[in-house]
Amino acid sequence: MAGGELALIEAFERLLERGQASDPRVLRALGDDASVVRAGAYAVTSIDTVTEGVHFRSAQLTPAEIGHRAVAGAASDLAAMGAAPGEAHLALGLPTGYRGAPELMEGAENVARSCGLTIAGGDITRAAELFVSVAVTGWAEDPATLIGRDGARPGDLVGVTGELGGAAGGLALLDGRVEIDDAVARAALRARYAVPEPRLSAGRALAAAGARAMIDLSDGLATDAGHLARRSGVELELWLSALPLSPGLDEVAEQLGIAAAELAATGGDDYELCVCVPPSASAIAAAAARSCKLNLTWIGKVHRGAAGVRFADSAKPGLRGYEHSL
């Protein structure tokens, strides 16, 4: 084992040690074959991988941002279920000579902590290209409090947290496809792509407020709302003109030569939540989002009809988000 690799394993061990020390649920995180954690009644688990050249380019992001995005993307799945945050286990695939791993782990740890997750274990291996697989577990005492994609009913309102399109704008900036003069706007767009915030508290608050179906927006609203519509067997009528646009998106969209709302509907990686709520619960749902410092914008309605998404005010039929897994 080379010196750099030993240092890396020690950095990982320190990370696990901190997790174990700070989280009384974690009985064993370090030095054993597996972590041991006091469980809730129901485990909510997702695994998510980001790979070089598919989900990110190392030339565009710091190692800390790569670690952040990997954990945020997995944690976002827990948010979409309305689960309480639990633990994360990281599997790192590192190309020979990769120097960024300690910083990557720090980025992973910081976002994990910020959303209440403890990194309780992991695995480091050599790989041809950098990848990070993150398994996250959340907990629920009653499975009825968890929100699937399958519960939307005709008459429900469709809401979305925060703003859309910012991550796509940030990526366009990093790709050099657009130029923004205002440094503040530039930094804000870049941050939406580089350090997304998983909406764990909002997910739990919306679940408690009566959400019937929920999904996080990783592949873009058009695609992800389509998953929800098909799983629920309903038609989602969405209103392009109602979409909440990230600040600065107008300028990005203009340079790209597409409508800002269309970019907001199709751009991926925003990690906002799309939620279906019966009209009777709409005020309490909006208040729940506000309690997490997020706007909830009503962007459509659920109908009986062909399972899928229909943009009521789009000239183009069949808007699609990108699908970054395959």
Rounded to whole angstroms, the Cα distance separating 47 from 45 reads 7
Based on the shown chain and the rule CB under 8 A, indicate whether residue 242 belongs to the binding site for a copy of itself: no
Tracing tokens 């009985």 back to the chain, one arrives at 27
Q: Tell me the closest approach of the beta carbon of residue 325 to a copy of itself, in angstroms.
A: 5
Which 50-89 residues touch a copy of itself, going by CB under 8 A?
50-55, 76-78, 80-81, 83, 87, 89
Based on the shown chain and the rule CB under 8 A, indicate whether residue 11 belongs to the binding site for a copy of itself: no
Based on the shown chain and the rule CB under 8 A, indicate whether residue 231 belongs to the binding site for a copy of itself: yes
Which 148-187 residues touch a copy of itself, going by CB under 8 A?
148-150
Q: Tell me the closest approach of the beta carbon of residue 73 to a copy of itself, in angstroms.
A: 10
Whichever of 81 and 189 has its CB closer to a copy of itself, that residue is 81
| DSSP 8-state assignment for residue 115 | T
Q: How far is CA 35 from CA 86, 102, 234, in A?
A: 12, 21, 41
Which 277-306 residues touch a copy of itself, going by CB under 8 A?
none
Rounded to whole angstroms, the Cα distance separating 312 from 265 reads 13
Whichever of 94 and 252 has its CB closer to a copy of itself, that residue is 94
Q: Tell me the closest approach of the beta carbon of residue 228 to a copy of itself, in angstroms.
A: 10
Among 23, 156, 216, 272, binds a copy of itself (CB under 8 A): 216
Q: Tell me the closest approach of the beta carbon of residue 290 to a copy of itself, in angstroms.
A: 23
Q: How far is CA 301 from CA 227, 236, 244, 257, in A?
A: 15, 6, 16, 29
Rounded to whole angstroms, the Cα distance separating 281 from 74 reads 28
Rounded to whole angstroms, the Cα distance separating 267 from 261 reads 10
